[in-house]
């Protein structure tokens, strides 16, 4: 399988790995087919993501996707971060092989979940999860 230099870089040197002990929002998602798990921690102040960390127990593409996702949402408002799509994560990595697109979906979902976790904890209604249109579902032949 051919991976871009950016995927390899973020896999070998992932950014923002770890956890935030006093996180304001936590999102954990897993893919039941491959068994990979991703957890994203957000530190939020004044509606802005001041810090973000992640732990991913999964494949190289999932690690690279979560690393890139954290870079893309750091410093953003919650509204801006909510717009992060798996396609944007994959594009920022200079592409993922088609059978690995679902790994970037985990990153999108983990960010959404962490934001809603924060909103619910603060008495706000969760935002509706909307698919960003190019989610590549895991087909049986990609397991
Ligand atoms: S997240 Fe399942 S193989 Fe990458």
pLDDT band at residue 132 using 50, 70 and 90 as cut-offs: low
Which residues are near ligand 1 (CB < 6 Å)?
31, 34, 36, 58-59, 61-62, 100, 102-103, 106
- Ligand 1, atom nearest to 33 Cα: 2
Residue 92 has pLDDT above 80, yes or no: yes
Q: Please give the mean pLDDT across all residues of the chain.
A: 92
Residue ranges of E strands in 22-142: 25-30, 37-45, 48-57
Higher pLDDT, 53 or 133: 53
Mutational pocket test of ligand 1: of 69, 103, 110, 138, the residue with most ligand atoms within 8 Å of the beta carbon: 103
Q: Minimal CA–CA distance to 6: which of 72, 58, 53?
A: 72
Q: How far is CA 47 from CA 10, 111, 132, in A?
A: 27, 15, 22
Write down the pTM of the prediction: 0.91
The CA 31 to ligand 1 mean position distance, Å, reads: 7
Q: Which domains does the chain have, with CATH numbers?
A: 5-125 (3.90.1010.10)
- Tell me which of 26, 34, 37, 138 is the catalytic residue: 34
Q: How many CA atoms lie within 13 A of 93 on its CB side?
A: 34
């Amino acid at each position: 399988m051919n991976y871009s230099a950016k995927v390899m870089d973020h896999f070998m040197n992932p950014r923002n790995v770890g956890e935030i002990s006093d996180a304001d929002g936590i999102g954990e998602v897993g893919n039941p087919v491959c068994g990979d798990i991703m957890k994203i921690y957000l530190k939020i102040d004044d509606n802005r993501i001041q810090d973000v960390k992640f732990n991913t127990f999964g494949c190289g593409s999932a690690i690279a996707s979560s690393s890139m996702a954290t870079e893309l949402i750091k410093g953003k408002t919650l509204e801006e971060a909510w717009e992060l799509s798996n396609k944007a994560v994959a594009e920022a990595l200079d592409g993922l092989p088609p059978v690995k697109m679902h790994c970037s979906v985990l990153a999108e979902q983990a960010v959404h979940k962490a934001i809603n976790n924060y909103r619910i904890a603060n008495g706000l209604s969760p935002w509706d999860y909307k698919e960003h249109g190019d989610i590549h579902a895991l087909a049986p032949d990609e397991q």
